[in-house]
Chain A
Amino acid sequence: MTATLTRGAERLQAAFARARAEDRAAFIPFMTAGYPTAAAFPAVADALLRHADILEVGLPYSDPLGDGPTIQRASEQALAGGTSTRRTLELIRALRARHTVPIALMTYVNPIYAVGPREFMRLAQEAGVDGLILPDLPPDQDLELADLAAEQGLAVTFLIAPTSTPARVKLVAEACTGFLYAVSVTGVTGAREGSALVEVPAMVALARRHARVPVAVGFGVADAATARQVAAVADGVVVGSAFISAVREGRDVGALAADIAAGCAR
């Protein structure tokens, strides 16, 4: 673990600090790279970036076992269109040429191992990625990965869940260098009926006791109302499936982003 902040961690934490200074939670929209197509993705990302404090880009994966049907289908469609690791990083490089908003790359761990962790980190850094979000890697499974990321200036984000024990929260929180990602419900990603965020305040409070980094909350946040609930207690609000659905249904992604971003104000 590095004592000083990496370039990526600095940029991510500065984004949280700016939001905090304006008395709002950081707004972190998510989009699957190469969705709906590699050609159409940049315009969708641009629309999100106009309102985002941080953009989370998902690396399409064949077996996304933490994702619900909406993001699964988006991944399948992006992969069918040829967006895997190489293309995802190209798309991110192009975004970084136009925007200064920090970018976090969400990826399952197998694509990292397939390329080789050191090489993957190098390629990600070169493309302009600031941090990695690792949904299927409990930090104690690979103690070297965070260090390899840090060598390339990248921050890492691990996840906690409502089932996490205090001991696990402590372990995960101490491993995070960018921000901590708290999963709002027991379940996979996606909007749900009557989304129950009842477990969020206690979980965030527990996380804050151990985390030196900001705490963002995601899963099941789909509109301004749920964003407002989360923003009341957390440093950041992650919204993913709602944007995928908006793209699929041909709705105005920018308008939805503006609406949810407004909901992040306290």
Chain B
Amino acid sequence: MPQHLPTYPQPDARGRFGRFGGRYVPEILIPALDELERAYLEAKGDPAFLAELERLLREFVGRPSPLYLARRLTEYAGGAKIYLKREDFNYTGAHKINNCLAQALLAVRMGKRRVIAETGAGQHGVASATAAALLGLECVVYMGAEDIRRQALNVLRMRLLGAEVREVTSGTATLKDATNEAIRDWVTNVRESFYILGSVVGPHPYPAMVRDFQAVIGEEVKVQLQALEGRSAPDAVVACVGGGSNAIGIFAPYAYLPPQERPRLIGTEAAGEGVASGKHAASVAGGRVGVLHGSMMYLLHDAEGQITPPHSVSAGLDYPGIGPEHCYYSEAGVAEYVPVTDAQALEALQLLTRLEGIIPALESAHAVYHAVQLAPELGPEAIIVVNLSGRGDKDVAEVMRLLEGTPGAGEVRA
């Protein structure tokens, strides 16, 4: 685990990754974003802050997370070696905690005693509530009514941790609306509150800051792969993308290398029932450039700019946009983005569970599916690293419900 936070060539001073990103927010927030950016840059250069973050990541989260060679999955796929970066081992069950702890430490440093967060599946909400409990902060989490119904267990966890979960019934009552409501709270309580944003979206400096806090994932992979295979870069890195924080965390340490040293970086978008069906959350494959939550990005919206509801079996990918740095990677040819459907993700979840005894989050299963497809194409000399961003415990009930409704489900070819 590096005792520093990385610095990358993007974004520019105005918070743009190429033409993406920026700060499309009510003017009321501009001073707060300036203050946040200053505080973040100061913290990044402060050894005491970095040491405290490093200690918490080690002792509280359990980092570094293992890089695990999935032997039976590799054998099944029949080609490249498949390694799993085990972010599912992190305390609270996913990569989200890396970012939450860092932002909560920043809140304390800025003298803010109240934190706000949005959540979809509840993973970021639980991680925020956990960080708030650890640091003695008041915590309010906004969650769509529909997600509260789907993720009852995480709601209980947040409440047990002392957070107030506020139900959002506006719009489609899911993640995007919870984000709107969190921003409205921040607009109203901007002087005393800190907004812990959970992904690489939102106005500058959030996309850059969240990336830097998640880059520990890829930085660890470099060191671990060097020790295991004698090289720091695999041939391909695969990660699922909703807003895109786990993917950026594992991509960014490789993305700015010269092209010949750079592994293929592949983001798997949630294609739901298929991009052609219109019921999906694949913003690169099926979206157009637009503005949401303060940032210019690829977005699902109609011809007149009304945001269209996304669909994915995994609540964590059920977002109508994708972080501006991913948009930049896509446009610049640094990374590829491929669609993976609900059915394919469900298939991969069962496959990994039966072959390796690892139940991945439905989100992460999207990446696993593509790695299995890619392995024979790359051949046995190649190495693929999959970011296993979270564990599947939260999805067990939903998966069983879906499989019971599918003829022949539960039968895996393994």
Contact = CB atoms under 8 A, between A and B. Distances in A.
Interface of A: 61-66, 68-69, 72-73, 76, 79, 84-86, 109-115, 135-138, 141, 158-165, 168, 172, 183, 186-188
B408 interface: no
A77 B305 CA distance: 17
Contacts of B294: 136
Nearest to A84: B304
A166 to B, nearest CB: 11
B32 A163 contact: yes
Interface string B67-81: 000000000000000
A188 B189 CA distance: 10
Interface string B179-223: 010011001111100000000000000000000000000000000
Interface in B258-311: 288-294, 299, 301-307
Q: Which of A73, A112, A114, A115 has the most CB of B within 10 A?
A: A114
A68 B290 CA distance: 23
A125 B194 CA distance: 41
Given A109-B24, A186-B28, A86 B292 contact: no
Interface string B18-31: 00001111111111
B31 A165 contact: yes
A66 B305 contact: no
Interface string B217-233: 00000000000000000
A138 B177 CA distance: 22
A136 B291 CA distance: 10
A163 B291 contact: no
B27 A161 contact: yes
Given A63-B180, A186-B187, A113 B31 contact: no
Given A69-B170, A76-B170, A86 B26 contact: no
Contact of B304 (A63, A86, A162): A86
A85 B303 CA distance: 10
Contacts of A136: 24-26, 291, 294
A163 B30 CA distance: 8
Contacts of A138: 23-25, 27, 30
B26 A61 contact: no
B171 interface: yes
Interface string B81-112: 00000000000000000000000000000000
A65 B305 contact: no
Given A141-B23, A186-B188, A111 B30 contact: no
A159 B29 CA distance: 11
Contacts of B27: 138, 158-161, 164, 168, 172, 183
B366 interface: no
B190 A115 contact: no
B184 A188 contact: yes
Given A161-B26, A186-B190, A68 B184 contact: yes
A111 B188 CA distance: 25
15 contacts: A63-B176, A65-B293, A66-B184, A79-B306, A109-B291, A110-B290, A110-B291, A112-B305, A114-B288, A114-B305, A138-B30, A141-B22, A168-B27, A172-B27, A186-B28
Nearest to B22: A141
B303 to A, nearest CB: 7
A242 to B, nearest CB: 19
Contacts of B170: 69, 72-73, 76
Q: Which of B29, B171, B187, B294 has the most CB of A within 10 A?
A: B187
A64 B184 CA distance: 10
A78 to B, nearest CB: 11
Given A114-B302, A164-B30, A183-B26, 9 more contacts: A63-B171, A111-B305, A113-B305, A114-B288, A115-B303, A136-B25, A164-B27, A183-B27, A186-B190
A65 B304 contact: no
Q: Which of A84, A163, A183 has the most CB of B within 10 A?
A: A163
A61 B306 contact: yes
Contacts of A186: 28, 187-191
Given A72-B170, A164-B31, A186-B188, A66 B304 contact: no
Nearest to B299: A110
B177 to A, nearest CB: 8
Contacts of B290: 110, 113-114
Contact of A85 (B29, B31, B305): B305
A251 B393 CA distance: 52
Contacts of A163: 28-32, 190-191
Contacts of B189: 186
A186 B24 CA distance: 17
Q: Which of B27, B170, B191 has the most CB of A within 10 A?
A: B27
B301 A114 contact: yes
A56 to B, nearest CB: 16
Interface in B158-186: 170-171, 176-177, 180, 183-184
A65 B180 contact: yes
Contacts of B288: 114
A79 B307 CA distance: 11
A183 B26 CA distance: 10
B291 A187 contact: no
Contacts of B307: 62-63, 110
Contact of A188 (B187, B299, B306): B187
B107 to A, nearest CB: 18
Contacts of A158: 27
A84 B306 contact: yes
A124 to B, nearest CB: 13
Given A138-B27, A161-B27, A63 B184 contact: no
Given A164-B30, A186-B187, A188-B188, A111 B304 contact: yes
